[in-house]
Structure 1
Amino acid sequence: MKSITTDTSAAAGVPGAPTLAEDLLLLLFQPDSGMIAGENTLFYVLGAAMLADLALRGSVVTTTTRGGSVIVEAVEGREPPDEIFHSTWDYVSDRRRGVQTILPAIGPNLRQPLLSRLITRGDVRKEKRKALGLFTTTALVDGGSGRRSGLLENVRNVLVGDTEPTPRAAALAALVWGSGTLPQFDPVIPWNSSVIARAKEFERGNWGAAAAGEAVTRTMTAIIVNSVIVAAAVPSPQ
């Protein structure tokens, strides 16, 4: 299977606002342990976040074949200026490809450049520690920017409360759900039947009245999230 390399030099300047994939990785970062939740399937989830972001930007569209396969196609002239997208864009715009082909091709090389961006932005930092008093290890700790707390509050509001989500917040909530890590956010985001039901609505692309004009993007993101669940074999809680 063809694999691609993401340009890590993008982290040096960190242009513009954080990408959806950065937000997702920051949310999955667990400050108490210094670990990233869902590491085993992380490359699928980050790849999906990149595609969902391209959909939100109107850079890609999808079609479904008679056999039910989802095909992604780049929109000519809509290449994002941010370099972090360029390798993904090149891979998608080269020719029409199925989601299940794209995710394992773009995902494995995303973690490090995205993490580098979070460190450069000050959202996460590296800390040297002594193990057993002899060995020096490097741990990831919260950078103190407060951005993770803000993202977590946004996702909580759309899953727990009646807040009408923006398309980006809905996509982020759907991706967290699709990653299979939502139970790990309990009790901040309660793991109960009402939250599960609302998360499933986002999975299906039901984002509420505030996103009524985002039908194409909602459908695209729902397709991508479902593809993550299928590709990563993440069980959907009942």
Structure 2
Amino acid sequence: MTDGPGDQPATEQQRSLAAPSLVEDVLLLLFQPRSGTIAGENTLFYVLGGAVLAELALTGRAEIRSSGRFSSAVHVLGGTPPEDELLRPAWGYAAQKPRNVQTVLAAVGPELREPVLDRLVERGDLNREERKTLGIFRTTRLTEGSGRRQQLLDAVRAVLVGRDDPTPRTAAAAALLSASGMLPQFDPEIPWGSRTHDRGKELEQGSWGASAAAAAVTRTTVAIVSASVSTSTTTLPGS
């Protein structure tokens, strides 16, 4: 993304980073600027793990195949691990042998929050502010940085509310937000109602529209991942 009017010039460190991954986009979208918190913290690792698997599918590095009547397994494609350190653990875990989707989510998801946050701070998309409470206790507050969250949010809202045909990447992000159960928390940024709910479910099931030129296997993979995330976030105790 190039600098726009009023934006701060990108640092050399920011320029050296590769393009943001889907898991970065999803966590950035889940960030709530008003409170400085991340929506859905108690089930976040499932959503972030799902975003990593969806990214591997979108980039042709993995796919999910049926391994039985009611189960599916992650199969890696190609023999070279992804360069992105956020994606490499999931790819490596599934490369040992095909793994059940839920197993992969539970194995890689819990380790993702902090490195993804670090990446977003490194890019300038989020800021970390160190503060002292009562002059003694140190606390850390997250604040919005670059404005990229708003760009992502605009694209997701256009798909969910305006029913625009999405790019595969935006479709996957919106599907994961829907599967996380967190869409109501975006109201009024993304107006919540039956229309938004239904469109989210369509995206979860791979109904992306004609212009989202993703292979059928990619849509199927993202749909299975979304279903696994949805099941996990609705059955986890306390969710």
Tell me the residue number matched to 1:203: 204
In the alignment, which of 79, 83, 86 is matched to residue 84 of structure 1?
86
Q: Which moved more, 1:62-71 or 1:78-87?
A: 78-87
| Contact 2:14–2:123 (8 Å) recurs in 1 | no
Tell me the residue number matched to 2:218: 217
Q: How far, CA to CA, are the matches of 1:39 and 1:215 in structure 2? A: 32
Tell me the residue number matched to 2:155: 154
Residues 1-238 of structure 1: matches in 2 within 5 Å? 15-77=17-79, 79-143=81-145, 145-233=146-234
Count of aligned positions: 224
- Residue type matched to 1:20 in 2? L
Q: Which moved more, 1:41-50 or 1:66-75?
A: 66-75
Q: How far, CA to CA, are the matches of 1:86 and 1:212 in structure 2? A: 25
Partner SS state of residue 209, structure 1: coil
| Contact 1:61–1:72 (8 Å) recurs in 2 | yes
TM-score, structure 2 normalization: 0.88
Deviations 1:60-81 (A, max 9, x none): 1111133210111001236322
Q: How far, CA to CA, are the matches of 1:207 and 1:227 in structure 2? A: 18
Deviations 1:170-226 (A, max 9, x none): 000001111111001001111111111111100111001012552111110010010
- Residues 214 and 206 (structure 1), Cα distance of their counterparts in 2 relative to 1, 3 Å cut: same
- Residues 230 and 81 (structure 1), Cα distance of their counterparts in 2 relative to 1, 3 Å cut: same
Partner SS state of residue 211, structure 2: helix
| Contact 1:29–1:36 (8 Å) recurs in 2 | yes
Partner SS state of residue 51, structure 2: helix
- Residue type matched to 1:219 in 2? T
Q: Which moved more, 1:77-86 or 1:170-179?
A: 77-86
| Contact 1:52–1:171 (8 Å) recurs in 2 | yes
Q: How far, CA to CA, are the matches of 1:215 and 1:67 in structure 2? A: 20
> What are structure 2's unaligned runs of at least 5 residues?
1-12
| Contact 1:72–1:99 (8 Å) recurs in 2 | yes
Q: How far, CA to CA, are the matches of 1:136 and 1:102 in structure 2? A: 35
Tell me the residue number matched to 1:4: none
Deviations 1:2-25 (A, max 9, x none): xxxxxxxxx999731000000000
Deviations 1:110-168 (A, max 9, x none): 0010000000000111112232344332111111x110000110100100113110000
RMSD across aligned positions (CA):
1.9
Q: How far, CA to CA, are the matches of 1:112 and 1:178 in structure 2? A: 22
Q: How far, CA to CA, are the matches of 1:172 and 1:205 in structure 2? A: 12
Q: How far, CA to CA, are the matches of 1:14 and 1:87 in structure 2? A: 22
- Residues 213 and 85 (structure 1), Cα distance of their counterparts in 2 relative to 1, 3 Å cut: closer
> What are structure 1's unaligned runs of at least 5 residues?
1-10
